[in-house]
Structure 1
Amino acid sequence: MTSGAYDTNNIFGKILRGEIPAHKVFEDDYTLAFMDVMPQSEGHVLVIPKAPSRNILDADPATLGPLIAVVQKIAVAAQEAFDADGVTVMQFNEAPAGQSVFHLHFHVIPRHEGAALKPHSGKMEDGGVLAANAAKIRDAL
Protein backbone atom coordinates (compact mmCIF):
# COMPACT_ATOMS: atom_id res chain seq x y z
CA MET A 1 0.00 0.00 0.00
CA THR A 2 1.35 3.43 -0.92
CA SER A 3 0.70 6.73 0.75
CA GLY A 4 -1.73 9.26 -0.71
CA ALA A 5 -0.85 12.06 -3.07
CA TYR A 6 1.08 15.10 -1.87
CA ASP A 7 -1.22 18.09 -1.31
CA THR A 8 0.59 21.39 -1.95
CA ASN A 9 -1.94 23.21 0.24
CA ASN A 10 -0.88 21.54 3.48
CA ILE A 11 0.12 23.98 6.22
CA PHE A 12 3.87 23.31 5.81
CA GLY A 13 3.62 23.93 2.07
CA LYS A 14 1.99 27.27 2.92
CA ILE A 15 4.81 28.06 5.37
CA LEU A 16 7.40 27.26 2.68
CA ARG A 17 5.64 29.63 0.26
CA GLY A 18 5.48 32.39 2.89
CA GLU A 19 1.67 32.32 3.05
CA ILE A 20 1.71 31.50 6.78
CA PRO A 21 4.31 32.92 9.17
CA ALA A 22 6.65 30.71 11.18
CA HIS A 23 9.33 31.27 13.80
CA LYS A 24 12.29 30.10 11.73
CA VAL A 25 15.31 28.53 13.36
CA PHE A 26 17.35 27.47 10.32
CA GLU A 27 16.99 27.46 6.54
CA ASP A 28 19.14 26.30 3.66
CA ASP A 29 18.51 25.32 0.03
CA TYR A 30 16.93 22.00 1.03
CA THR A 31 15.37 22.37 4.47
CA LEU A 32 13.51 24.62 6.86
CA ALA A 33 13.46 24.32 10.66
CA PHE A 34 10.90 26.26 12.67
CA MET A 35 9.24 26.24 16.09
CA ASP A 36 6.24 23.96 16.61
CA VAL A 37 3.30 26.24 17.52
CA MET A 38 1.95 23.56 19.88
CA PRO A 39 5.19 22.48 21.57
CA GLN A 40 5.39 19.34 23.65
CA SER A 41 8.36 20.83 25.53
CA GLU A 42 10.25 24.10 25.50
CA GLY A 43 12.31 24.28 22.30
CA HIS A 44 10.19 21.85 20.18
CA VAL A 45 11.29 22.33 16.55
CA LEU A 46 9.98 20.92 13.26
CA VAL A 47 12.42 20.18 10.43
CA ILE A 48 10.99 19.81 6.93
CA PRO A 49 12.36 19.35 3.43
CA LYS A 50 11.61 22.02 0.85
CA ALA A 51 10.98 19.24 -1.69
CA PRO A 52 7.35 18.14 -1.80
CA SER A 53 7.20 14.88 0.14
CA ARG A 54 4.09 13.52 1.86
CA ASN A 55 6.24 11.51 4.28
CA ILE A 56 9.26 9.22 4.39
CA LEU A 57 7.40 6.58 2.36
CA ASP A 58 7.37 8.70 -0.81
CA ALA A 59 10.36 11.01 -0.26
CA ASP A 60 13.08 11.04 -2.90
CA PRO A 61 16.10 9.40 -1.22
CA ALA A 62 18.18 12.41 -2.33
CA THR A 63 15.98 14.56 -0.05
CA LEU A 64 16.66 12.47 3.03
CA GLY A 65 20.43 12.98 3.36
CA PRO A 66 20.38 16.78 3.66
CA LEU A 67 17.22 16.58 5.79
CA ILE A 68 18.58 14.19 8.41
CA ALA A 69 21.84 16.18 8.59
CA VAL A 70 19.79 19.27 9.55
CA VAL A 71 17.72 17.22 12.03
CA GLN A 72 20.99 16.27 13.74
CA LYS A 73 22.27 19.87 13.66
CA ILE A 74 19.03 21.17 15.20
CA ALA A 75 18.97 18.39 17.83
CA VAL A 76 22.48 19.29 19.00
CA ALA A 77 21.65 23.02 19.10
CA ALA A 78 18.30 22.51 20.86
CA GLN A 79 19.87 20.30 23.51
CA GLU A 80 22.50 22.97 24.16
CA ALA A 81 20.10 25.93 24.02
CA PHE A 82 17.69 24.43 26.56
CA ASP A 83 20.30 22.65 28.71
CA ALA A 84 18.36 19.46 28.01
CA ASP A 85 19.35 16.01 29.23
CA GLY A 86 18.37 14.47 25.91
CA VAL A 87 16.44 15.00 22.68
CA THR A 88 13.52 13.05 21.27
CA VAL A 89 13.34 12.89 17.47
CA MET A 90 10.01 11.68 16.07
CA GLN A 91 8.65 11.21 12.56
CA PHE A 92 5.22 9.80 11.61
CA ASN A 93 3.96 8.28 8.34
CA GLU A 94 0.23 8.35 7.52
CA ALA A 95 -2.69 9.01 9.86
CA PRO A 96 -2.77 5.58 11.58
CA ALA A 97 0.84 6.21 12.67
CA GLY A 98 0.03 9.68 14.03
CA GLN A 99 0.80 11.91 11.04
CA SER A 100 -1.55 14.92 10.97
CA VAL A 101 0.27 17.22 8.52
CA PHE A 102 1.00 15.43 5.28
CA HIS A 103 4.38 17.01 4.49
CA LEU A 104 7.43 15.06 5.67
CA HIS A 105 8.62 16.45 9.00
CA PHE A 106 10.73 15.53 11.98
CA HIS A 107 9.93 16.67 15.52
CA VAL A 108 13.03 17.64 17.54
CA ILE A 109 12.07 17.88 21.20
CA PRO A 110 14.52 18.78 24.00
CA ARG A 111 13.91 16.58 27.07
CA HIS A 112 14.71 16.98 30.75
CA GLU A 113 15.07 14.05 33.15
CA GLY A 114 11.73 13.30 34.82
CA ALA A 115 9.70 15.81 32.76
CA ALA A 116 6.86 14.33 30.74
CA LEU A 117 6.02 15.58 27.27
CA LYS A 118 3.03 17.88 27.12
CA PRO A 119 0.21 16.64 24.89
CA HIS A 120 0.19 17.92 21.31
CA SER A 121 -3.02 19.78 22.05
CA GLY A 122 -4.91 22.46 20.19
CA LYS A 123 -3.44 25.16 22.43
CA MET A 124 -0.98 27.39 20.61
CA GLU A 125 2.08 28.80 22.39
CA ASP A 126 2.52 32.56 22.73
CA GLY A 127 4.35 34.02 19.72
CA GLY A 128 6.80 35.90 21.92
CA VAL A 129 7.82 32.68 23.65
CA LEU A 130 8.29 30.95 20.28
CA ALA A 131 10.37 33.86 18.96
CA ALA A 132 12.60 33.80 22.06
CA ASN A 133 13.03 30.03 21.86
CA ALA A 134 13.89 30.24 18.15
CA ALA A 135 16.54 32.87 18.97
CA LYS A 136 18.06 30.62 21.66
CA ILE A 137 18.45 27.78 19.18
CA ARG A 138 19.82 30.06 16.44
CA ASP A 139 22.40 31.33 18.95
CA ALA A 140 23.40 27.72 19.70
CA LEU A 141 23.87 27.01 16.00
Structure 2
Amino acid sequence: MPAGECLFCAIGAGEQPGHTVLSDDVAVAFLDTRPVFKGHVLVAPRAHVETLPDLPAEAVGPFFERVRSVAAAVEQGLEAGGTFVAMNNRISQSVPHLHVHVVPRNRKDGLRGFFWPRTRYDDPTEAESYALRIRAAFGPDH
Protein backbone atom coordinates (compact mmCIF):
# COMPACT_ATOMS: atom_id res chain seq x y z
CA MET A 1 0.00 0.00 0.00
CA PRO A 2 1.49 3.38 -0.95
CA ALA A 3 2.26 5.71 1.96
CA GLY A 4 -0.27 8.19 0.57
CA GLU A 5 -3.09 5.71 1.21
CA CYS A 6 -2.21 5.04 4.87
CA LEU A 7 -1.82 7.79 7.44
CA PHE A 8 0.70 5.86 9.54
CA CYS A 9 2.79 4.91 6.50
CA ALA A 10 2.74 8.58 5.46
CA ILE A 11 3.90 9.69 8.92
CA GLY A 12 6.68 7.10 8.79
CA ALA A 13 7.72 8.32 5.33
CA GLY A 14 7.71 11.95 6.47
CA GLU A 15 4.84 12.79 4.10
CA GLN A 16 2.49 13.72 6.97
CA PRO A 17 3.42 15.55 10.16
CA GLY A 18 3.86 13.64 13.37
CA HIS A 19 5.68 14.14 16.65
CA THR A 20 8.04 11.20 16.17
CA VAL A 21 9.81 9.76 19.20
CA LEU A 22 11.47 6.76 17.52
CA SER A 23 12.10 5.90 13.89
CA ASP A 24 14.19 3.10 12.44
CA ASP A 25 13.89 0.39 9.79
CA VAL A 26 11.54 -1.68 12.01
CA ALA A 27 9.09 0.82 13.49
CA VAL A 28 8.00 4.39 13.82
CA ALA A 29 6.61 5.75 17.09
CA PHE A 30 4.82 9.07 17.40
CA LEU A 31 2.45 10.93 19.70
CA ASP A 32 -1.23 10.11 19.36
CA THR A 33 -3.11 13.22 18.22
CA ARG A 34 -5.98 12.37 20.59
CA PRO A 35 -4.13 11.02 23.63
CA VAL A 36 -5.68 9.29 26.61
CA PHE A 37 -3.01 11.19 28.59
CA LYS A 38 -0.35 13.57 27.27
CA GLY A 39 2.63 11.53 26.10
CA HIS A 40 0.44 8.71 24.67
CA VAL A 41 2.56 7.14 21.91
CA LEU A 42 1.59 4.92 18.97
CA VAL A 43 4.18 2.38 17.82
CA ALA A 44 3.62 1.11 14.27
CA PRO A 45 5.69 -1.29 12.16
CA ARG A 46 7.34 0.47 9.26
CA ALA A 47 5.99 -2.18 6.86
CA HIS A 48 2.27 -1.82 6.28
CA VAL A 49 0.28 -4.60 7.95
CA GLU A 50 -3.24 -4.18 9.26
CA THR A 51 -3.33 -6.51 12.27
CA LEU A 52 -1.03 -8.48 14.55
CA PRO A 53 -1.78 -11.78 12.76
CA ASP A 54 -0.64 -10.08 9.52
CA LEU A 55 2.79 -9.25 10.98
CA PRO A 56 5.31 -11.83 9.71
CA ALA A 57 6.59 -14.10 12.49
CA GLU A 58 10.19 -12.94 11.99
CA ALA A 59 9.10 -9.32 12.53
CA VAL A 60 7.28 -9.88 15.83
CA GLY A 61 10.37 -9.93 18.06
CA PRO A 62 12.03 -6.85 16.57
CA PHE A 63 8.73 -4.93 16.59
CA PHE A 64 7.96 -5.72 20.21
CA GLU A 65 11.53 -4.82 21.18
CA ARG A 66 10.63 -1.31 19.92
CA VAL A 67 7.34 -1.36 21.88
CA ARG A 68 9.32 -2.36 24.99
CA SER A 69 11.81 0.46 24.43
CA VAL A 70 9.05 3.02 23.94
CA ALA A 71 7.29 1.86 27.13
CA ALA A 72 10.54 2.34 29.07
CA ALA A 73 11.19 5.76 27.48
CA VAL A 74 7.64 6.99 28.19
CA GLU A 75 7.93 5.94 31.81
CA GLN A 76 11.40 7.43 32.28
CA GLY A 77 11.00 10.53 30.12
CA LEU A 78 7.68 11.54 31.61
CA GLU A 79 8.46 10.33 35.13
CA ALA A 80 5.32 8.21 34.89
CA GLY A 81 4.52 5.56 37.44
CA GLY A 82 3.99 3.02 34.64
CA THR A 83 2.37 2.51 31.26
CA PHE A 84 -0.72 0.94 29.75
CA VAL A 85 0.20 -0.99 26.58
CA ALA A 86 -2.58 -2.15 24.24
CA MET A 87 -3.66 -2.74 20.65
CA ASN A 88 -6.83 -3.33 18.70
CA ASN A 89 -7.17 -5.67 15.74
CA ARG A 90 -9.89 -4.50 13.33
CA ILE A 91 -12.58 -3.61 15.90
CA SER A 92 -11.92 -0.11 17.32
CA GLN A 93 -8.82 0.18 15.12
CA SER A 94 -9.25 3.72 13.80
CA VAL A 95 -6.36 3.43 11.32
CA PRO A 96 -6.04 0.06 9.52
CA HIS A 97 -2.30 -0.21 10.22
CA LEU A 98 -1.07 -2.28 13.17
CA HIS A 99 -0.18 -0.03 16.08
CA VAL A 100 0.43 -0.39 19.79
CA HIS A 101 -0.71 2.27 22.25
CA VAL A 102 1.77 3.14 24.99
CA VAL A 103 -0.04 5.34 27.50
CA PRO A 104 1.73 6.91 30.50
CA ARG A 105 0.05 6.03 33.80
CA ASN A 106 0.21 7.35 37.33
CA ARG A 107 -1.70 6.32 40.43
CA LYS A 108 -5.06 8.06 40.73
CA ASP A 109 -4.82 9.39 37.15
CA GLY A 110 -8.53 8.76 36.62
CA LEU A 111 -8.26 5.82 34.22
CA ARG A 112 -10.43 3.03 35.56
CA GLY A 113 -9.31 -0.44 34.53
CA PHE A 114 -10.20 -1.53 31.03
CA PHE A 115 -12.19 0.62 28.63
CA TRP A 116 -14.93 -1.99 28.25
CA PRO A 117 -17.37 -3.81 30.55
CA ARG A 118 -16.25 -7.08 32.13
CA THR A 119 -18.24 -10.33 32.35
CA ARG A 120 -17.96 -13.75 33.97
CA TYR A 121 -18.29 -17.33 32.76
CA ASP A 122 -21.40 -19.09 34.03
CA ASP A 123 -19.28 -21.94 35.40
CA PRO A 124 -15.96 -23.76 34.82
CA THR A 125 -17.57 -25.91 32.10
CA GLU A 126 -18.44 -22.85 30.03
CA ALA A 127 -14.94 -21.44 30.53
CA GLU A 128 -13.40 -24.73 29.40
CA SER A 129 -15.62 -24.78 26.29
CA TYR A 130 -14.16 -21.41 25.26
CA ALA A 131 -10.62 -22.58 25.99
CA LEU A 132 -11.23 -25.73 23.93
CA ARG A 133 -12.44 -23.72 20.91
CA ILE A 134 -9.39 -21.44 21.08
CA ARG A 135 -6.95 -24.37 21.51
CA ALA A 136 -8.54 -26.12 18.50
CA ALA A 137 -7.91 -23.03 16.34
CA PHE A 138 -4.14 -23.48 16.81
CA GLY A 139 -4.32 -26.67 14.76
CA PRO A 140 -2.70 -30.06 15.30
CA ASP A 141 0.91 -28.76 15.41
CA HIS A 142 0.44 -27.02 18.75
Short-chain TM bin: 0.7 to 0.9
Percent identity among equivalent residues?
A: 37
**Residue matched to 1:64:** 60
**Residue matched to 1:86:** 82
Structure number with the bigger relative contact order (C-alpha 8 A, sep ≥ 6) is: 1
Which is higher, the Rg of structure 1 or of structure 2? 2
1:112 aligns with 2:106: yes
Query: In structure 2, what is the Cα distance between the partners aligned to 1:38 and 1:116?
Result: 17
Read off the aligned partner of 1:116 and give its amino acid letter. Answer: G
**Residue matched to 1:137:** none
Q: CA deviation at 1:16?
A: 2.0
Q: CA deviation at 1:10?
A: 2.0
Structure 2 gaps of 5+ residues are 112-142
Q: Kindly tell me the number of residue pairs found equivalent between the two proteins.
A: 110
> Normalized against structure 1, the TM-score is what?
0.72
1:5-62 superposed Cα distances (whole Å, 9 cap, x missing partner): x785121122122221111101111111111111111211111111111110211112
Equivalences for residues 118-129 of structure 1 within 5 A: none
SS at match of 2:34: coil
Aligned alpha-carbon RMSD (Å): 1.5
Query: In structure 1, what is the Cα distance between the partners aligned to 2:34 and 2:9?
Result: 18
> Normalized against structure 2, the TM-score is what?
0.72
* Runs (4+) off by over 6 Å: none
SS at match of 1:57: helix
Structure 1 gaps of 5+ residues are 1-5, 118-141
